[in-house]
């Protein structure tokens, strides 16, 4: 099978590609795992991390907003598309037009290109907790009342995926992700970025500012569990998903103080003391608008599991990204 | 003040214009009713009904999908926009691309043009019961799970109105309308059109087919009450509306058999016998996907009232559209 991953050299795209290349796991229409002959990693940027070294990988750099580019990318041989390309929350809030161009029009380009293939490819769309707003606890049937442009664009994408699927143009599935923690690499423009930074930077020997109150809660999920969830939702029985193809993925819901206490227990005082309070009213306001508890019954029924604990999240990061050791 | 009505020569647009021209009712930012100096009726089609004869009226024919046209329409003098222009439900289902072009991109053109004025005009957006799906009873907080392209496009429009309002680009309000009954004139491509036809055509001496079962229920509202609701939501206190600017308008919920019994009581057997059963599986399926009961608490709190009875709806139609008499 041929798989296209937009945002394919980014954090989740790259890790999903590595996983897909490692062994046949993505299922075809007959429900059996298929050999992957080609994985196209499409991105607007040159890779920050080393891309997978595999003859089946093709890296394409381009603009998701350009319809001709996307039409060429998602061709008649494409079986499955994972659509990660997006302007993140803080970026979409700072640049209204860019956010709509990439997150809304770029998503429409992906759906239109897939539709034109005439073979109803699978489209796995990445949504976010940010589609909710003002609710502390959410489930699959909670009304979407986004309070950011990013959340609005993701909610619109979900509606489009459902409609294109209903019409038989694509076989769409949407995964609403919790905040991904611990993201490796450098901070990005996501308003949620601090939730990774306050754990990642101290483990690597760097000081870091925490922009929110200790009582702030976040719904979080590790990159490893997120990649597993994308494979699970790709392989889920479409008929069982029904007309609403969006699933809320579960996570764990620590307070920021619990995250920092967990860091202290795992790595010691010297590491935990590298976090200083640096209140940021804008980030606090955005975070306060997010749900921090999810009861995603549909994801659970599909066997999609969150991390067991904060300890697991920190250990996974240290083992996978820091070769098993941190700067004490 | 200057008011722009898109779809302005259509059924609701024209009636709203007549009402606005009759006396100062639309309120300005200071909360007092303003004199209306200009009402621009924008439409894709030449007027079917006689447009209002008033020196303050300007009729503009054009394509809502053309951004330059809309930028010119909604200029820096515009205080309020009522956005009715849309491809109706049956039309959007039959022509997927046209539906998205008019209902989604056309709506974005309106919001963008309003944003460019830099003066945060009021935008009253027309949504529909079709944003729901699979629920029999809905309220303001019911999740939007549209099951038609039209409903999807309206749900997306609601999200955009909320986001543009949150950003301070427009002062948006969205009214989710029940099915408008009795629509005057000829049948249109709306899947809900039969709900008017089965009352309107017999009252005018014509036979008509009823495409749905007697047990089918519809949530309905007269054009007169709808026009009042548009004025009410235009004048509502924006701060009180909060971040979700969409209100579900209430209606009455007769079964089709009750509508036909009501017609029989009002107009007699000869009139009611002009309705014959003509099942249409597609329309039945669409109608079965719609909610038929609304508990719109927010609209009620704003004093927005539905019709008191089916009798009132029939009487209003006969008095306003048939000069008080029907073909017995």
DSSP code string of A87-118: --HHHHHH-HHHHIIIIIIIHHHHHHHHHHTS
Q: Which of A96, A67, A70 is nearest to A83 (CA)?
A: A70
Of these residues, A132, A150, A164, A266, which one is catalytic?
A150
- The pLDDT tens digits for A84-106 are 999 988 889 999 999 999 999 99
Looking at the 3D structure of chain A, how many domains does it have?
1
On whether the CB atoms of residues B184 and B203 are closer than 8 A, the answer is no
Q: How far apart are CA A246 and CA B155, in angstroms?
A: 16
Inter-chain CB proximity A152 and B162 less than 8 Å: yes
Shortest alpha-carbon distance between residue A225 and chain B (Å): 28
Task: Give residue-wise pLDDT tens across range A148-173.
Answer: 999 999 999 999 999 999 999 999 99
Domain check: are B149 and B205 in the same one? no
Residue B74 within a domain: yes
* Cα–Cα distance for residue pair B302/B304, rounded to 1 Å: 6
Task: Give the closest-approach CA distance of B263 to chain A in angstroms.
Answer: 37
CA gap B268, B87 in Å, rounded? 36
CATH code of the domain in which A31 resides: 3.40.50.720
Residue B187 lies in a domain: no
B150 in catalytic set: yes
Domain boundary among B207, B233, B248: B248
Calculate the average pLDDT of chain B. 95
Taking only residues 240 to 259 of chain A, the set having a beta carbon closer than 8 angstroms to any beta carbon of chain B reads: 243-244
> Is residue A205 one of the residues assigned to a domain?
no
| ipTM summary value | 0.94
Task: Give the relative orientation of helices B149-166 and A149-166 as an angle to the nearest 10 degrees.
Answer: 180
According to DSSP, the residues that pair with A272 across neighbouring strands are none
Higher-confidence residue of A134 and A278: namely A278
Residues B297 and B237 in one domain: no
- Specify if A200 maps to a domain: no
Q: B296: distance to nearest CA of chain A, Å?
A: 15
Cross-chain residue pair A244–B155, CB shorter than 8 Å: no
- Residues 260-279, chain B, touching A (beta carbon < 8 A): none
In a domain, B186, yes or no: no
Per-residue pLDDT reduced to its tens digit, B215-232: 999 999 999 999 999 999
The pTM of the full predicted model, rounded to 2 decimals, is: 0.94
Q: What does the alpha-carbon distance between residue A253 and residue A251 come to, in Å, rounded to a whole number?
A: 7
* % of chain A exceeding 70 in pLDDT: 100
Residue B177 has pLDDT above 80, yes or no: yes
Domain range holding B89?
Answer: 2-177+222-248
Closest-CA residue of B relative to A135 is: B141
Among the listed residues A168, A177, A45, A172, the one whose alpha carbon sits nearest the alpha carbon of residue A102: A45
* Mutant choice from B145, B146, B161, B166 vs A, greatest count of A C-beta within 10 A: B145
Do B121 and B198 reside in the same domain of the chain? no
CA distance A41 to chain B (A): 29
Residues from chain A that touch B158, judged by Cβ atoms under 8 A, are none
CB-based contact B146 A159, cutoff 8 Å: yes
Model confidence pLDDT, tens digit, residues A216-255: 999 999 999 999 999 999 999 999 999 999 999 999 999 9
Q: CB contact, 8 Å: B134 with chain A?
A: yes
Q: What angle do CA B167, B172, B175 make, to 5 degrees?
A: 145
B125 and B204, same structural domain? no
Q: Cβ A159–B156 below 8 Å, yes or no? A: yes
């Amino acid at each position: 099978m041929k798989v296209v991953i937009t945002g394919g050299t980014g954090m989740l795209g790259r890790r999903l590609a590595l996983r897909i290349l490692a062994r046949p796991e993505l299922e075809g229409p007959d429900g059996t795992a298929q050999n992957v002959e080609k994985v196209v990693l499409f991105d607007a940027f040159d890779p920050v991390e080393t891309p997978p070294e595999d003859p089946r990988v093709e890296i394409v750099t381009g603009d998701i907003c350009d319809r001709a580019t996307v039409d060429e990318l998602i061709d008649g041989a494409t079986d499955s598309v994972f659509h990660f390309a997006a302007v993140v929350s803080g970026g979409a809030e700072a640049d209204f037009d860019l956010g709509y161009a990439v997150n809304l029009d770029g998503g429409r380009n992906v759906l239109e290109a897939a539709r034109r293939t005439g073979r109803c490819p699978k489209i796995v769309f990445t949504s976010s907790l940010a589609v909710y707003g003002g609710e502390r606890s959410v489930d699959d049937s909670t009304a979407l009342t986004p309070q950011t442009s990013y959340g609005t664009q993701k909610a619109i994408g979900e509606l489009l995926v459902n409609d294109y699927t209903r019409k038989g143009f694509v076989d769409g599935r949407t995964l609403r992700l919790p905040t991904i923690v611990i993201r490796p690499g450098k901070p990005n423009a996501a308003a949620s970025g601090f939730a990774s930074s306050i754990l990642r930077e101290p483990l690597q020997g760097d000081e870091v500012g925490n922009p929110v109150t200790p009582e702030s809660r976040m719904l979080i999920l590790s990159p490893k569990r997120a990649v597993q969830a994308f494979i699970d939702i790709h392989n889920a029985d479409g008929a069982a998903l029904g007309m609403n193809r969006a699933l809320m993925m579960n996570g764990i819901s620590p307070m920021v103080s619990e995250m920092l206490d967990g860091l202290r227990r795992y790595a010691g005082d010297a590491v935990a003391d590298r976090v200083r309070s640096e209140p940021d009213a804008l980030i606090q306001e955005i975070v306060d608008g997010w749900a921090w508890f999810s009861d995603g019954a549909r994801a659970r029924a599909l066997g999609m599991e969150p991390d067991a604990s904060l300890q697991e999240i920190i250990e996974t990061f240290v083992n996978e990204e820091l070769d098993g050791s941190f700067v004490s």
